[in-house]
Structure 1
Amino acid sequence: MQLVLEQIIVQPGQQLLLKDISWQQFETILEELGESRAARLSYSDGWLEIMVPLPEHEKDKEIIGELVRILLDGMSIDFEVLGSTTFKSDRMRQAVEADTCFYIQNYAAVIGKNSLDLTVDPPPDLAIEIDITSRTKFDNYRQLSVPELWRYTRRGLEINLLQEGNYVVADRSPNFPDIPIIELINEYVQKNLTVGRSATIRGFRNWVRENLG
């Protein structure tokens, strides 16, 4: 008996791993699940992972994404945010959905685009993963040539830079070279948990005005 997608239930915080999934099957699953879904997908050489994030995962994703947007605006840097867009390459048989991602140097290449194929389009300059309920697929991002990958875990922010085909941990971000980004993100994510989003954002905007204005 063959299962259909409607029969598969993944609880928040849980993952489902499927093997021997062809690229065409993956494309069909993407189409059937649609855009307005809670589940996140990752595909690599026949392995498909379906994950449903916890609420704390979503809160961290939203606040970190907002902090990055405020920083880029404060630095007068043009950018495009593509959120949890599915990045995929048919040729490399890889696909991943970041929690959020930013086009900075390559922002002009994706203006007005609703879907991306990394076989022809550039990868995001910065991808962000909230690694609380899922393990980041370094190999997906590596094969898709994403130059900078942030992972936020219970231990805080970790910056990974793609160098000579592999990710190495760094203490600075090339996109924010003169900013103590790890300390800032860690501090304001924690503030969000204690004083709430509005007060956190106001405080961060004040920091940007005082230090970058």
Structure 2
Amino acid sequence: MPLAVLYSRAIAGMEAPLVTVEVHIANGLPGFTIVGLPEAEVKESKDRVRAALQNTRFEFPPRRITVNLAPADLPKESGRFDLPIALGILAATGQIPSDKLGHYEWAGELALTGELRAIRGALAMTYGAARSGRSFVLPEQNAAEAALVREAAVYPATSLLQICAHLAGREPLQLYSLHAERDAGTGEGEGSALRYPGMEEVKGQAQAKRALEIAAAGSHSLLTLCPII
């Protein structure tokens, strides 16, 4: 099938809107086009993806490749779309199975060797993925941040090859557990795993919570005043 569809996330302020990555392979003069309001970092993914596929011994198709990042009116930035674009090309050309692609959301910048590099906005993107009912695959460096979303299923990966092995059923990715990592670091049992309170435990105070979220996201200072009654 010359068409593959995957899911990723953009970053728009505090939100992480869903982005559908559609990859189509057609006959004609070789070309690689990315549409859907991509900024410079996204346009440059063409060269990163081509080199990563070739250096990991996959075939880069000498055909007409069109990548659509929908919705078209949402700006797309950063290298986080490298991974879903590369997987879309491999799936559309039949080099990897495509039946599991829709179960996950994908984000990761590719090195020219096919290794995955860290991205920003992992927490917001994982929160969106958890609410949609899909698991999230992202670079290993972002796993601890993403796993702060308690209800999320996070699968960290180090390379494109590791993800392809997972999709082919040869070497499944391991579900990341933040508590397990803490236990391993302290040598303590599961019952003593640290648990931090979350914003969902604060009832009401919508404006105060919003101010805290904005301050945390932008690394701003925040002063709160409690009136004395």
Give the alignment's TM-score, normalised by structure 1. 0.34
Larger strand share, 1 or 2: 1
**Superposition TM-score, scaled by structure 2 size:** 0.32
